[in-house]
A and B are shown apart, each in its own frame.
Chain A
């Protein structure tokens, strides 16, 4: 194969690409939609699945204020919602790789726990979602690390750096406690109690991959968002965070 790039381009010329003129239908749709002028934004665009659980979140004014005061950690916003949110997505971690491969693929320096009580991760995954890529370290559940019903795993530690507009929103409800914490000398937050909903909102405002989440410790460090999701208590999660070291 003398010139692989050229070969690929040649192969592309033989693909039966779709070739439709969408101008008419698109213009017709946006024109019709404008005439309707509903004004209200369609809040939930996540497809309804048969097994979906609908959760009504009604915040008290006091609670809403408390959460409104919460900080925003890079790429994660915490909010109350009075909307119906339908979590449908399952945990999607991407492809399984070695820790070394993940370090090579990530666009940011990766951290991994050293000498932590939980030991080494059972699996390392790299995902192109969210945009910019994410690395997930997964610990299976065992006696000291009960499985979170929301993820089915004992512990999930995710690192990502958003490289496109968009971000995650966590929707908490009464019965949840959400508060500021310092993690490794960085601002962060801790949410525990009633499982909350996390979804990703892209730059079009589309919300996707809404799923239920267990207790979460999240913080920003060097422009990278770190997130530990577990049934562990705050102290244990903080200890784990303190054990994180750069992968050399």
Chain B
């Protein structure tokens, strides 16, 4: 059942570590409702990670649900001293990559633009006001045209909104690699976007 009100600000909360640790411990011992609370904490960002890969809402939801069930079964392998979210997101991303591979789709579909970014009666944010739909499409298309090694890092950092450490954990690469690929990816984007007329 879709619900509204999941915002980036909620996703970027690093988690209340103590509470999260307890939830993980409870979920490990078979408490499904504790796992449900973990799902609620992380599902919005998990859906984003899946959507970045599969580019289809229904498929992203399906992939995320599958991955969350798999992660529950794999909780026994989760090291409790490690951060939970990157671990979870790595499972989501792997599931999404496998799905994309199994459908044989090589080309990335464009990321869907929100029809009305100011729905729900909220005041338009200054941010959405300053970027035209056309400009947004151009920026996102540039990201999509990056080689995979840069695209995955740039998308995770700036589109999904993960920290450097979370990106490293999710992609299974070193933080230093995230740093260098971010920097090179941004340089390439600047080259691609720099030739505009303004």
Contact = CB atoms under 8 A, between A and B. Distances in A.
Interface stretch (A60-68, A126-134, A220-228): A126-134
B35 interface: yes
B84 interface: no
B77 A203 contact: yes
Interface residues of A, number: 49
A50 to B, nearest CB: 13
B43 interface: yes
Interface stretch (A20-28, A178-186, A188-196, A231-239): A20-28
Contacts of A94: 148
B61 A18 contact: yes
A206 B43 CA distance: 21
Given A8-B143, A47-B102, A107-B177, A20 B131 contact: no
A36 interface: no
A105 B173 CA distance: 11
Chain B: number of interface residues, binned into ranges: 35 or more
Interface in B142-198: 143, 147-149, 152, 154, 158-161, 171-174, 176-177, 186, 189-190, 193-194, 196
Given A10-B130, A13-B128, A27 B36 contact: yes
B87 to A, nearest CB: 8
A11 interface: yes
A109 interface: no
Contacts of B174: 107, 163
B127 A13 contact: yes
A1 to B, nearest CB: 6
A17 B33 CA distance: 26
Given A14-B113, A30-B69, A95-B149, A205 B172 contact: no
Contacts of B68: 22, 26
A206 B99 CA distance: 13
Contact of B61 (A20, A27, A205): A20
Interface in B73-105: 73-74, 77-78, 87, 90-91, 94, 98, 102
Interface of A: 1, 4-5, 7-27, 29-31, 33-34, 47, 94-95, 105, 107, 126, 128, 130-133, 163-165, 202-206, 208
Q: Which 8 A-B pairs have the closest CB atoms?
A: A131-B172, A164-B172, A8-B158, A204-B74, A16-B112, A16-B114, A27-B36, A12-B159
23 contacts: A1-B194, A1-B196, A8-B159, A8-B189, A11-B135, A13-B8, A14-B113, A14-B136, A18-B48, A20-B43, A22-B39, A22-B47, A27-B35, A30-B73, A31-B32, A128-B152, A130-B172, A131-B90, A203-B74, A203-B78, A203-B87, A204-B74, A204-B77
